[in-house]
Amino acid sequence: MLSVNRIDFNTYKNSTRFVENPILSKNNKLKIFYFNDMHGSTDTISGVVEAAKNFNKNSNQYDSFIFSGGDNVSGGDVKKNEVVLDIMQNQMDVDATSIGNHEIDAASDGLEEFSKGHNIDFIATNVKFDDDSPMKKIAKKSVIKEENGTKYGIIGAMPLDFKECTKKSVQEDIEVMDFDDTIKALQEEINNLRAQNINKIILLSHTGYENDKKMAAALDGVDIIIGGHSHSVVEGAKHGENIVMSKSNQPVIITQAGENGGYYGILDVEFNSEGILTTISNQLTQLHARKNPNIEYIKKQKMGKSPIIGTIKEIEPMPKNRRMKPHAWANLIVDSMKEGLNADCAFLNAANIRKVPTTGKLTERDVTESVPMKNKLVKAKLTQKQIVEAIKQASKESLGKETGEPGLLFASGFRYKIDNEGNLLELNFIDKNGNKTPIDINNPSEQITYTAVLDNFTIKDDGEYPHLAPKLGYEEFDYDKDKTAIDYIKKMQNTDNLEFTNDNRLEIVQTSQLQQSNNNIQKFLNLTAPKAS
């Protein structure tokens, strides 16, 4: 898929929303290659890597940069994250990146460790750090990049919902500002850059597309926003959509390239001598996941060879929106959690699954990379009411948003049905012998409890699934779901011929289908009802 939109702002000279400025003798042309939210998925980023190499070969005639909107890595595996930065620096020549929430999965000292020896600038303007935080040495409020005698100012924004989307253990030395203070901090840095006669400002943001649009309108002086966090696919350049007029009534282009290496973008712009955009062309290109032998070699050199645990004959790929669709690999992971800790049930938030392995040889590393967050599993007593309320909340919120946040709850030991608006229609408990017990979803019990397995991200009382916070205590284990999944697969009968198919334990029905089903039931009742005499 390819989308190119070009805007020439001379055509807007009669618009009340655009203030024309004189275009003097020379325009500055700038070309930006951008990506975001790769989440360390080395299977899927190979296309972005190759595209970046080609970009570097063919952009000598312009000022050019390669920027990331953050979440380049995910999970607490410092060595794996170091490999990703090696690729970004040595294969792609990335200039700068915002700091996403997943850059902090291994805490600030982990980021310090895996970023050592790399010259990629990490930009975060809207954040406060403790005096002894390693982040003070890593994060920069802004940087100045010079190309062919022209200077560009680069600022950055960390996610405004940092506390909600990270573990408590990584938050201790980091405080991300709220929206209003973020605007103040960004504007102050823009003003500092302007005082140095820099009038071309680029914001690398990991706050999400809707926040980016609000920031563009609230700031004076920013020209380009390369975004991330919401995993939005922002195509072309459309006035009133991803071209927003700033506080000083000048155009700001906002763009973002999905997630997991599914897209990359090339943004071509021209500035007049006052640093105001005069033309914009934004091209987004879709890619398809494939393992790259060169990247696999780099991983093996840095991390060692990973043991093969089986061969996959059949597996469905990751759904387009992994937060909103059930799939077979997620079922396997959550089943392994329940079986591995000998519990009645298990729950897994959909966003935790970061990749689905492909057919062919399956290694332990493939499994670990699919759930890279390095959480810890917990075993807790949950009431029936807690489970019902958690499923209702997750379903309603996730299907009520385009981005699918916070994500559906995948379950082992429960089967349930929801409609496409997120309403819970039916819930059944399935015991270890396969017996089904219907749950009264309108009046769930607070006395009936189940031994459940979750992870320590899911059970935060101030997190995305507050109903799952244990009220009766819990036991924490020093490993995550990749261990239970690897053990579970190794015990399968036919590891040389693995097939993973969805068993429809989580069913999503269209409201139109539901209404038709209800109509058919009513017709049947009308036909079979006794006739009045």
> Is the domain of 318 the same as that of 256?
no
Q: What is the pLDDT of residue 299?
A: 82
Residue 367 belongs to some domain of the structure: yes
Secondary structure class of 340 (helix, strand, coil): helix
- In a domain? residue 449: yes
Query: What CATH number is associated with residue 488?
Result: 3.90.780.10
* 522 falls within a domain: no
User: Are 269 and 347 within one domain?
Assistant: no
Judgement on whether residues 347 and 233 belong to the same structural domain of the protein = no
Three-state secondary-structure class, residue 422: coil
Rounded to whole angstroms, the Cα distance separating 348 from 454 reads 6
Residues 64 and 192 in one domain: yes
Q: CA 379 to CA 413: how far, in whole Å?
A: 14
| Residue 242, domain CATH | 3.60.21.10
pLDDT per residue as tens digits for the range 340-355: 999 999 999 999 998 8
Q: Report if residue 531 sits inside a domain.
A: no
pTM of the model: 0.79
pLDDT at site 529 = 56
SS3 sequence of 99-133: CCHHHHCCHHHHHHHHHCCCCCEEECCCEEECCCC
CA distance 509 to 395: 12
Residue 372's pLDDT is 86
Phi-psi label, residue 431: left if phi above 0, alpha if psi -120 to 50, beta otherwise: beta
Query: What CA–CA distance (Å, rounded) separates 405 from 417?
Result: 19
pLDDT at 146: 95
**pLDDT at residue 19 in the model:** 35
3-state percent breakdown (helix, strand, coil) of the chain, nearest 5: 30, 30, 40
**Whole-angstrom Cα distance, residue 303 to residue 445?**
49
Measured from the Cβ of residue 270, the count of other Cβ atoms closer than 10 Å reads 18
Assigned token pair, 408: 């559906």
Looking at the structure of the chain, the number of domains it has is 2
pLDDT value at residue 20: 35
Note whether 339 and 451 are same-domain residues: yes
Query: Which range of residues forms the domain containing residue 364?
Result: 306-516
Q: Which two tokens stand for residue 131?
A: 């005096």
Which regions in the chain score pLDDT beneath 70?
Answer: 1-26, 289, 512-533
Task: Judge whether 523 lies within some domain.
Answer: no
Is residue 299 situated within a structural domain? no
Instruction: Examine the domain organization and report whether 467 and 495 are in the same domain.
Output: yes
465 shares its domain with 410 = yes
Give the pLDDT score at 295. Answer: 83
Strand partners, 411: 347
Contact criterion met (CB below 8 Å) for 350 and 407? yes
CA distances (Å), origin 230, targets 221, 233, 523: 24, 9, 45
- Whole-number pLDDT of residue 22: 36
Q: Which domain-ending residue is among 252, 286, 320?
A: 286
Name the domain boundary from 255, 286, 317: 286
Regarding whether 329 and 231 lie in a shared domain, the answer is no
Place of tokens 């690897």: 486
pLDDT tens for each residue of 279-316 = 999 999 998 767 778 888 888 888 888 999 999 999 99
Q: Are residues 381 and 510 in the same domain?
A: yes
In this prediction, residue 377 carries a pLDDT of 97
364 with 429, same domain? Answer: yes
Tell me which of 258, 286, 314 is where a domain ends.
286
Whether residues 383 and 268 share a domain: the answer is no
pLDDT at 454: 98
In a domain, 530, yes or no: no
Domain assignment present for 151: yes
Under 8 Å between Cβ of 402 and 411: no
Q: What is the pLDDT of residue 14?
A: 36
Is residue 41 within 8 A of residue 353, CB to CB? The reply is: no
Confidence at residue 26, expressed as pLDDT on a 0 to 100 scale: 55
Regarding whether 456 and 344 lie in a shared domain, the answer is yes
Q: Where are the beta strands (DSSP E) in 119-200?
A: 121-123, 127-129, 139-140, 142-147, 150-157, 174-176
